[in-house]
Amino acid sequence: MEQTKIDRLRALAIPPQKLFIGGDWKAADREETIAVVSPIDGRVLTTISRASAADVDRAVRAARATYNAGSWSKMSPGGRKKILLRIAEIIEARSLELAVLGVRDNGTEIGMALRAEPGSAAATFRYYAEAIDKIYGEIAPTADNVLGLVHREAVGVVGAIVPWNMPLMIGAWKLAPALAMGNSVVLKPAEAASLSLLKLAEICAEAGLPDGALNVVTGSGSVVGEAIATHMDVDVLVFTGSNGVGRKLLEYSARSNLKRVYLELGGKSPNIIFSDAPDLEKAAAVSANGIFRNSGQVCVAGSRLLVQRDVHDDVVERIARIASAMKVGDPLRLDTDIGAIASAGQLQSNLNFLGLAEREGARRIIGGERILEETGGYYMRPAIFANVVQEMTIAREEVFGPLLAVIPFEDEAEAIRIANATEYGLASAVWTSDLSTAHRMVRAINAGIVHVNTYGGSDLTVPLGGHKQSGNGHDKSLHALEKYTALKTAWIQL
């Protein structure tokens, strides 16, 4: 990858964006817009359309019409597979363009963005394309003279609401399996990161996806998100984001047509280092990446570092040294380790948590300062806090920023108690050389993912989903298809 190519793409003007409805680009009903501010320098990049409930209704009607017409829902599995594979090919061919566009929008460092955004999105479309013609119905073991068949059908119209961190990756996690099963989709990107998903709509159309099978409606969550969630003709709603919004979506389902709602919500993930970890330097380095990559704006970030007391000081020193050496700066520079905070509001939220941590008695080891203010962008140094106890706010609430809370523990029982002392249950990790300890911890930790001697990096072959208030349902793996299918029984007397 050449810096000159990145700089050339950085300089490209971005025209005002419209809504993508029924295979065409349309102005919002009221022709209102939202300014897109780049976290790199605080400048306005372009505008997106501020859609209304009427625009959402147009998109849902287009999705339903396409679904009912059968141009996608009744297309042969091989036909759908061919188009999804073509989408993957185009994403791959335009990966640098998509990555730079996304970085300009939300500030993720370019090295990570290339892998996690277009790289992951292409792999996701390819994975579910290959799964399409390998998903079968069932024949039930029935009594004599009866044939019991279980059919798997598309659910109809899927509403998808995705966040501003990694929008292309998470968007693909929703879109690819939903489309693979023959559904039509109405997608709402986050106001702060819509550009790459609007570009994805263009790619899908180029690949031959029928008009109306994918519709992208931008705007505020309080208007567009609510309109999708309360629409009587949306059959399934999928969401990644905050717990507060997730609760509202469940209420909206109850107020409307009782649509199925699947939620991937917040996390306060424990990363547990035992004194017998096979390599403390590796554990510290991987743990630093596990919380500070993308400025901590990752749902599975290892934001609570639990360290056995006899190696606590050693691990804190190692991770502080590693974090101090990370270069924070322009996310479109190849030598940048940590990019920008996604928005001014998120930066201020991070700083508020930092001040609260100090008032509650946590000891700041390094970082936490806002830097590079002269650029106009939103940057802060990664922060590490020690002397943290589980009752402190930074040990209980999701910060969603580059802030690590280090908590000491004595033994396995205390590590389990601290790890599970949270309303969340999304991800976790255990570092140990003892296989028995590893297996006991995997069973004891209440989380959807338990890494052992690593953090992050799981691929599409395994599911991602939360326990407790981290949500329900799963993204990734073949299990994700369950959200987008309905079972129908045929009971046939022979």
Whole-number pLDDT of residue 1: 64
> How far from chain centre, in Å, is Cα 69?
32
pLDDT tens digit string along 127-136? 999 999 999 9
Whole-number pLDDT of residue 372: 98
The C-alpha atoms of residue 245 and residue 420 are separated, in whole angstroms, by 23
pLDDT above 70 (res 58): yes
Residue 69 has a CB neighbour count (10 Å cut-off) of 14
- Pairing of β 184-188 and β 157-161: parallel
Q: Is residue 146 exposed (0-12), middle (13-18) or buried (19+ Cβ within 10 Å)?
A: exposed
The C-alpha atoms of residue 265 and residue 475 are separated, in whole angstroms, by 12
For residue 223, the one-letter residue type is V
Residue 489 has a CB neighbour count (10 Å cut-off) of 10
Q: Residue 233 has which token pair?
A: 């003709």
pLDDT tens digit string along 418-446? 999 999 999 999 999 999 999 999 999 99
Mean pLDDT over each residue of the chain, to the nearest integer:
97
pLDDT tens digit string along 145-176? 999 999 999 999 999 999 999 999 999 999 99
Q: Is the alpha carbon torsion for 290, 292, 297, 302 positive or negative?
A: positive
Helix (H, G, I), strand (E, B) or coil at 395: helix
* Buried-state track 370-409, b at ≥16 Cβ within 10 A, e below 16: eebeeeebbbbbbbbbbbbeeebbbbebbbbbbbbbbbbb
pLDDT above 90 (res 144): no
pLDDT-derived band at 311, boundaries 50, 70, 90: very high
pLDDT tens digit string along 240-286? 999 999 999 999 999 999 999 999 999 999 999 999 999 999 999 99
pLDDT above 70 (res 336): yes
Secondary structure (H, E, C), 107-160: CCCHHHHHHHHHHHHHHHHHHHHHHHHHCCCEEECCCCCEEEEEEEEECCEEEE
Domains in the chain: ranges and CATH: 3-265+480-491 (3.40.605.10), 270-459 (3.40.309.10)
Helix (H, G, I), strand (E, B) or coil at 406: strand
| C-alpha closest to that of 34 among 196, 198, 218 | 218
The C-alpha atoms of residue 465 and residue 52 are separated, in whole angstroms, by 31
- Mean pLDDT within 303-331: 98
Read off φ and ψ for residue 411, nearest 5 degrees.
-145, 180
Residue where the block lists tokens 């119209």: 157
Catalytic residue set: 264
- Mean pLDDT within 436-459: 96
The C-alpha atoms of residue 247 and residue 471 are separated, in whole angstroms, by 10
- Pairing of β 146-154 and β 157-161: unpaired
Max distance between CA atoms of the chain, in angstroms, equals 79
| C-alpha closest to that of 492 among 138, 142, 153 | 142
Q: DSSP letter for 41, please.
A: T
CB 319 within 8 A of CB 404: yes
| C-alpha closest to that of 253 among 264, 263, 266, 240 | 263
Residue where the block lists tokens 């700066």: 329
The C-alpha atoms of residue 144 and residue 73 are separated, in whole angstroms, by 34
Radius of gyration of the chain (CA): 23
pLDDT-derived band at 217, boundaries 50, 70, 90: very high
Residue where the block lists tokens 């209304």: 52
Whole-number pLDDT of residue 212: 98
195: left (phi over 0), alpha (psi -120 to 50) or beta: alpha
Residue where the block lists tokens 């939300």: 106
Residue where the block lists tokens 């523990």: 409
Residue 351 has a CB neighbour count (10 Å cut-off) of 18
The C-alpha atoms of residue 117 and residue 139 are separated, in whole angstroms, by 39
CB 175 within 8 A of CB 187: yes
pLDDT tens digit string along 82-126? 999 999 999 999 999 999 999 999 999 999 999 999 999 999 999
The C-alpha atoms of residue 260 and residue 112 are separated, in whole angstroms, by 33
Whole-number pLDDT of residue 143: 81
| C-alpha closest to that of 491 among 138, 181, 154 | 138
Q: Report the chain's terminal Cα–Cα distance, integer Å.
A: 64
Residue 265 has a CB neighbour count (10 Å cut-off) of 25
pLDDT above 90 (res 291): yes
The C-alpha atoms of residue 400 and residue 408 are separated, in whole angstroms, by 22
Give the containing element (helix H, strand E) for 23: none
Percent of all residues in the chain with a pLDDT value above 70, rounded to a whole number: 100
Q: Residue 179 has which token pair?
A: 């489309």
Helix (H, G, I), strand (E, B) or coil at 15: coil
Whole-number pLDDT of residue 35: 98
pLDDT-derived band at 457, boundaries 50, 70, 90: confident
pLDDT tens digit string along 30-41? 999 999 999 999
Whole-number pLDDT of residue 105: 97
CB 156 within 8 A of CB 184: yes
